[in-house]
Structure 1
Amino acid sequence: MRRGPRWSTLAVVLLIGVSLIRQGAGEFGGPPQPASAVGDPSGSTAAGAGAWPKGPAPEPLSRSRPERITIPSIDVDAPVGKVGLGADGWIDVPPLADNNLAAWYDGSVTPGEPGTSVLVGHVDNEAGPAVFYGLGALDKGRRIEIRRADGRTAVFSVYAVEVVSKADFPAERVYANSAEPELRVLTCGGGFSRKAGYDGNVVAYARLTSRG
């Protein structure tokens, strides 16, 4: 994993940088939100029976950039770009005008490598719903498929989805590295105001369970 700022710093960047406009809220009613954590973000089965995918993880994959993300249960099928840190030290985000584009943060491992890979995307833009609009409706056990530049597909199983506060973001837990391949998918969520935007983030936690 490339050396970079502490996750606690990146958390602020991801939270603010992925803040969105939510135009047309009356028409779309706002994105779906998990009422409470679905599963157990810590990965412990003690707090959420069956939250952690059962069985040993498959062998990790070598490094290869992600090219596409598919989440069939919420109709996500989108290309994946790359974002890094801008000149101001903040993490970049996908162009807001493109409502069907996700991005991999290149300071994290690539999906399928040991460790925690991070993908971000917008929940909406001026035209309405964007790529991760439905992320809050994701249930544990659902599949997230990442097609990589090497032709392999890393398949992850969701074990938790939650809304976390921007004001008190649990960066060390969300971004903690793992000995096994993990994935985090983030977008904006929680309460919304025209003045401040979204006050939280929806975070999906997933673990590699197969590879193609």
Structure 2
Amino acid sequence: MITLHTWTTPNGRKPVIMMEELGEPYRIAPVDITKGEQFQPAFLQLSPNNKIPALVDDTADGGPLTLFESGAILTYLADKHGKLLASAGPARWQALQWLHWQIGGLGPMLGQLGFFSKQDDALGKQHFREEAVRLLAVLDKQLAASPYLAGGEYTIADIAAYTWTVAAHEKLRAVLGEELDSKSHVQAWLERVGARPAVRKGMAWQVAGA
């Protein structure tokens, strides 16, 4: 059985969507980051960087495997099942480059914009808004050329970028406004990915009582 230690954040939903796409049984062990549970010693044994998500696969080849970092988890699960990431060749690297683009750019910049949008720091807010706008333009340009980030096929790169782009629409509309709505190719992609049953289920996951 695979156990996902996660929470209802954009990064935390990535492996939930992935497990739903794969159809493999799993269980969720909620890590309430609003209560600081990511700093508890038991969780730090799984994720030394005190960030969700973390995965424990008791059925891994060679014995139980523990992984942290959402990109590593998505890549591992894709390779394990032979789905949503080509095993070799250009298609694999196209998907991985966009996965790492999200991990290194889109996610962190939107997260920082979310933080600074609530602070009395005009310079910080301006800086991260400009970078968020630039990244959304990169995303829109790529999706103008292909239906999914890595080309014609839906991959883990789409899962990774989707959760953060949805979060931007839900949480950052006041600071991004027209920059979100004007990206027609992004909007079409959001509808395309969001229509997938596994994505709908993963995005709807909530913690009881939270």
> Do Structure 1 and Structure 2 share a fold, with TM-score over 0.5?
no
- Whichever structure has more helix as a proportion of its residues is 2
Structure with bigger RCO (C-alpha 8 Å, 6+ apart): 1
- Say which one has the larger Rg: 2
Give the TM-score normalised by structure 1.
Answer: 0.25
